[in-house]
Each structure stands twice: as C-alpha cells, then as structure tokens.
Amino acid sequence: MKIKLRNKLAYACGDIYGGGAFMIFSLLFMNYLVLVEGLPIIATTIIIFAGRLWDAITDPIVGRISDKTRSRFGRRRIFFLMGIIPVFLSFVMLFYSFGMDDISAKIVYYIFAYMFFGTAFAIVMVPYNAILSDMTSDYNVRTSFTTYRMMFSGLASLLAAIIPSILIRAVGSPYIGPGQRPGYLLQGIIFGCIFALCWFFVFLGTKERKDVSPAEKISLKEWLDVFDNKAYRNFLGIFLSFQIAVDLVLAMFIFYIDIVVLQYQNYELVVGTLLVCMVLFMPIHGMIAEKKGKAFPLYIGLPIWIASTFAFVFIDSGTPILVLCIISGLIAIGSAAGNLSTWSMLTDIYDVDELRTAKRREGLYSGVTTFIRKFASGFAVLLMGFGFSTMGFDQNEYSILKAGLVDFDPVVFAQNDIVAGIRTMFVVIPAVLLSICLIFALKNKLNKRRFDAILRGIACLKAKGDIETLETEEIEDILLITGSKKERLWGRKI
C-alpha cells in the first residue's frame, strides 16, 4: 500500500488505548483496590496474577485466530470493530463494583472484571501488534510507524496519568479512600469511551496484504515452535526485561511518591514531566534508530536510566520538586528508547519466521508475546505484593495516616521498614532488569542490512526454492539471524 501520513496517524491511534489504559491500570488499579475498595494487598496481587493466567488462554488463541481469519475487512482489521464495545465495558468495570460490600464477593468480581479486560485487550491489541508487517516491509518505514505509535502512546499516557486523578479528587474526595469511588467511575466512563472510539479510526486508516497463505490448523506444537526462532528468543530477553522494569516502576511509583517522598500533591507534576519528556525524546530516538539500527537507542537510553535510578537513594521528603522532575526527565530518555526499540523490533521477527517456516504467523507471535509480557509482569507484581506484606504494609493503617486521624512525624515515619523497603525495591529492581535488557540488546544482530537480506532470502525461496543466487555475505547474514542451516530454511528438513 502507498504510505501516507494519515495511515501513520490512524495506526498510531491504537496505542491511545495501549498506552493510556496501561498507564491508568498500572498507576491506579492496585491503589483503587487496596485503598478505595479496601481489599488486602495480597488479594489485589492475586487478582492481577489470575488475570494474567487467563491471558495464557486468550492472547495466543486470539493471535492464531487472527492469522486464520479471512473476511472482507482482512485478517486483523475486523477485530478492531469487534473490540469497540468490549473495550468500553471492560474498562468501566475495572473501577465499579455495583455497590458490593462483601470482601470475598469483591475479590471474585474483580477477578472476573480483570479477565474481561484482558480479553477485550487481546481482541484489539494482539491483531494490532501484528498488522504493521502487512502494511509495509520497509525496515525504516516500520520504525517511522512505530515512532508515531509511541508518540501517541506517550501523549495518551500523559493525559491518563494526570486527568483521572484530577477527576477522582474533584468528583470524589481529595483524600484517598472510599469517598473517591464516584471519581473512579467517572474517569472509567470517560476514558472507556475514548479508548473504544480510537479503534474505529484504526480500522479506517489501516490496510492489509492480500497475498496471504491458506489458513492452517492451530496446534500446541505450533505455539511452542516460536521459541525455536533464535532472533525471537533474543528479542524476548530485551522485551521482557524492559517491560517488567516499566511495569514494576509504575506499580510502585504512587507508593514511592506518597510514602517515601511524602509529596503526593506533586504526583501529577512528576509523572507529567516524565511523560512529556518521553514524547519529546521519541522522535529523536526514531531518527537514531533509522540511521543506526533499532537496538541503538537502547545503548544510549538505558545507561542514563540506570544511573538516574540510583539518585532515588538520596531522595527524601525534603528534596525539592525540581530535582524530582529532572530525574524523571532523565528516566524518560531511557523509557522512550526502550518503548521505541522493543515494539519496532517485534515486527521484523515475523519476517525471520517466514524465512524459517514459509508461514506468516504474525498473530501467533503477537499473541504469545503479549501473553508472556503480561504473565511475567503479573508474577512480578505478585512478588511485589508479597514484599509489601512482608515489610508490614497495612492498607487500613495507611488510610488512617493519610486521613490525618493520628499524629504524624515525617522524620520518624521515614525510618520505618516500609519506607526503606520501598526505596530499595524502587532502586534495585529496575537497575537489575535494565542491565539485563542492555546485555540482550548488545547481543542483537538484526540490523537493516541483515533485515534486507532476510527479505531477499524470502523472495528467492518463493521464486526458486533456495538462496544460492544471493551474495555470500547475504547468505551468512541469513544463517546468522535464523540460526539455521540452508537446508532447513523454508520449513524444510535435512
């Protein structure tokens, strides 16, 4: 298809939901369950983990179904229409319990609500992550599409980090607690409408390739076969370590600002600074990726984020807000680099798989990747919840403290185990995970030259059944990236 700016903008609208819903969920959902609905923190982490287990079923299945779907609207685009209503309903249900009072009933309800949310997310986001390779096979054009996508994601995340909390305090209560329920419901309705509507624009502005192979049967063996892809395994190392670091930082961020730094009133300003800087740095990283390769922004951004993380060791309630904003801006450099690199890398894996197997399985890879990411993050959040519990965190005591019902001395409070534990987790965990991400990024071998060799290899195998007519360097690049022998390419056996 001929690429126009409107196609990039329409495609990018999909991550208004991906980035915005993810931001609201990460920043507010656990806080809402614990401090507004009154659920034990262990119960909330179990709710999230149960939902991630459900994703083990929905994500790969939706991905494979989208590979097999044949309709007048294509394989992927039909799902954007199908998902509009579930996206709206599921998001509202995350923040409304229909007046339930019983704790056990709430736990069951929110497990169901989160599973419904995960299903709606899979219906649209799994095909969305797969469709870009159908729209263009150009290495740099894909990077450009992803840059627009991540900019829209960042802008949506910015609004999602600031507006909901304003609505929650304005319509509900300025104090964290059950009085904020009306505000949570209102933000759920407003953002649910926005997230649902964006998929209509994605549907209108995206196109798909028509030369797809016949649909094949779904099998467990095929799901597991993706891990035989050498390039995909290395990608997972980059992707998971980065995304889990982001998920945990966001899950802990409100607790860190509120409990460790005691600056909840500046929460929106700090988060807003981070997200604005992330959007500003996104096109810069996009240009770097087009010139130096998709992994190169990681070499710049991740060391800056790791170094900035250790600054949190020295931050306390007396730290000026300007310092917090500067550190957030530095972290944004790494966050922008990681988001751009990881999501743009994924689309190229589909072509490597086609060279190996003679199959186009974008949906399968998208579904498996989405599931693994959510499962790993859910397990990490579960461990975080146990960590909070072990440190002695009690949501009831915390609510009483925040409501000003007891005498409060910040100096004494800063010396307790909860503050020390959250500070340590907030510094050490992302530093370790981002270091792992950087190690895998340095092992990445798929650059533009080798990607072009992959495409020429596919063309040769389609036309002649072998790659013998390619240049020696191209053949070496193909074998390096696929980790296969020539005799095993295109689904053949030795």
Q: How confident is the model at residue 375 (pLDDT cuts 50, 70, 90)?
A: confident
Mean pLDDT score, 228-238: 96
The predicted pLDDT at position 24 comes to: 93
414 pLDDT above the threshold of 60: no
Helix (H) or strand (E) holding 34, with range, is none
The predicted pLDDT at position 444 comes to: 95
Work out the angle between the directed axes of helices 230-255 and 321-357 (0-180°, nearest 10).
160
Dist. CA 414–CA 403, nearest whole Å: 18
Say if residues 69 and 78 touch (Cβ distance below 8 Å).
yes
Question: Which tokens sit at 229?
Answer: 């892809």
Question: Which tokens sit at 413?
Answer: 């409070």
Mean pLDDT score, 27-47: 89
389 pLDDT above the threshold of 80: no
Dist. CA 484–CA 487, nearest whole Å: 8
Q: How many CA atoms lie within 13 A of 313 on its CB side?
A: 11
The predicted pLDDT at position 355 comes to: 94
390 pLDDT above the threshold of 70: yes
**Percentage above 70 pLDDT, the chain:** 93
Q: Work out whether the CA dihedral 301, 244, 275, 20 comes out positive or negative.
A: positive
Nearest 5°: phi and psi at 136? -160, 150
Say if residues 461 and 490 touch (Cβ distance below 8 Å).
yes
Mean pLDDT score, 7-27: 93
Radius of gyration of the chain from its Cα atoms, rounded to whole angstroms: 23
The predicted pLDDT at position 400 comes to: 60
